[in-house]
Structure 1
Amino acid sequence: MKPLKPFSKTALTESISVHGNISSLADNRLLVKFKISGNLALILWPKATPQIHREDGLWKHTCLEAFLGTGSSPRSPYLEVNCAPNGNWNAYSFSSYREGMQPAAETRVRLQHHEPEQHEALFEIEIDSQKPFDFTCLGLTAVIEFTDGSLSYWSLSHPGSDPDFHNKDGWTALSTH
């Protein structure tokens, strides 16, 4: 698994670590795994929900994310997938950098949650599409909300002066093999 880095180091971000990776299950199915280790009691986890559903604004709280692009240019399209640790999810397609955002109707997301142990939580997120994936670059990201209400932003890298998960300069070439 690849380590994600917090945008800002604080005592709270130093108390945990976040790792992620992606693998292909089929031409139209991907599996994204996240592992959060450390003092999990400091993380504000979303409350369980009786029915898992598509939801906007998940990034405002603890949320695991994947950005999948069809090219590294800011003008090339990409998909954003958000999944809360309680299973609520959303997927958006963008025509270019932060432009043309629409719900990705052909994409479905399912969280397979492994119960957290005392110092480690594992999450597997299955992404299904009605058409084959043709992505070439990837951004693995997470928003972690701590019990004091502060948010931390985790990514493979942070190329700008502000946390910006949409910035493809912080993504990596996609390898699902």
Structure 2
Amino acid sequence: MASYELSAFDRRFQSISLVGAIEQQGPYTLNVGYWLRDPNQLMQWPELVNGNPRQDFLWEQTCYEIFIGVHGEDFYREINLSPSQAWQVYQFEEYRYPEDMPPQTANDIELNQLKRTHYGLSVSLDLTEFMLKHKLQWANLFLSLSAVLKTSQGNQYYAMQHSSPNADFHNKRDWLHQF
């Protein structure tokens, strides 16, 4: 298991710390956990929903995100995970394209489990269809963990690193996890 301390885009904002961990399990299962520390209780949490529904625009509230890229390819997936326990997967052919809003839904990644926990969020994803369709091994993939945190002090953007002048989770230079 690899873990990463995610950093706030606004480096002056140090009130919340966020750690993400990635674990490959078996040939096609990806487990990710997010641990959030909020001693001043600045977080604003969405209401819990039942049944892990797919929903668009989750990033408008607190939302954890996973980006999955493929070495040597332009296409990628964006997975949105809400502490409400709703989720969604989007497909892109290249950087932020197509520009549909909401983005085009991808149905080649399935949810095994999504759970809000006392420390943050845990998710287990089934990448079987995505990996078989594109003939991928774990070594072909690289990932990013990020989050939009809605706080009483405004939205804060967390990622493995920020190399763009604006918070931009789609920037593959910042997708640091390799298998």
Specify the TM-score bucket, using the shorter chain as the normaliser: 0.7 to 0.9
Give the TM-score taking structure 1 as reference length. 0.85
* 8 A contact 1:30–1:128 mirrored in 2: yes
CA distance in 2, matches of 1:47, 1:139: 26
- Deviation, 1:40, is 6.0
CA distance in 1, matches of 2:104, 2:15: 36
CA distance in 1, matches of 2:90, 2:26: 21
CA distance in 1, matches of 2:142, 2:53: 27
* 8 A contact 2:108–2:130 mirrored in 1: no
- Deviation, 1:138, is 1.0
CA distance in 2, matches of 1:136, 1:48: 31
What SS is found at the alignment partner of 2:41?
Answer: helix
Matched to 2:84, the amino acid is N
Percent identical pairs in the alignment equals 28
* 8 A contact 2:143–2:175 mirrored in 1: yes
Question: What residue in structure 2 maps to residue 144 of structure 1?
Answer: 149
Task: Report the count of equivalent residues.
Answer: 165
Question: What residue in structure 2 maps to residue 113 of structure 1?
Answer: 116
Give the TM-score taking structure 2 as reference length. 0.84
CA distance in 2, matches of 1:170, 1:14: 20
* 8 A contact 2:29–2:128 mirrored in 1: no
Alignment of 1:8-27 (within 5 A): 8-10=10-12, 13-27=13-27
Which structure 2 residue ranges, 5 or more long, are not aligned? none
* 8 A contact 2:144–2:176 mirrored in 1: yes
Question: What residue in structure 2 maps to residue 169 of structure 1?
Answer: 173
- Deviation, 1:130, is 3.9
* 8 A contact 1:143–1:152 mirrored in 2: yes
Question: What residue in structure 2 maps to residue 53 of structure 1?
Answer: 53
* 8 A contact 1:61–1:143 mirrored in 2: yes
Question: What residue in structure 2 maps to residue 122 of structure 1?
Answer: 120
Cα offsets for 1:118-176 (capped at 9, x unmatched): xxx1321111134263342111101100034x10100000111000000001111422x
Between 1:58-67 and 1:24-33, the stretch displaced more is 24-33
Which structure 1 residue ranges, 5 or more long, are not aligned? none
Matched to 1:163, the amino acid is A
CA distance in 2, matches of 1:86, 1:144: 13
* 8 A contact 2:35–2:121 mirrored in 1: yes
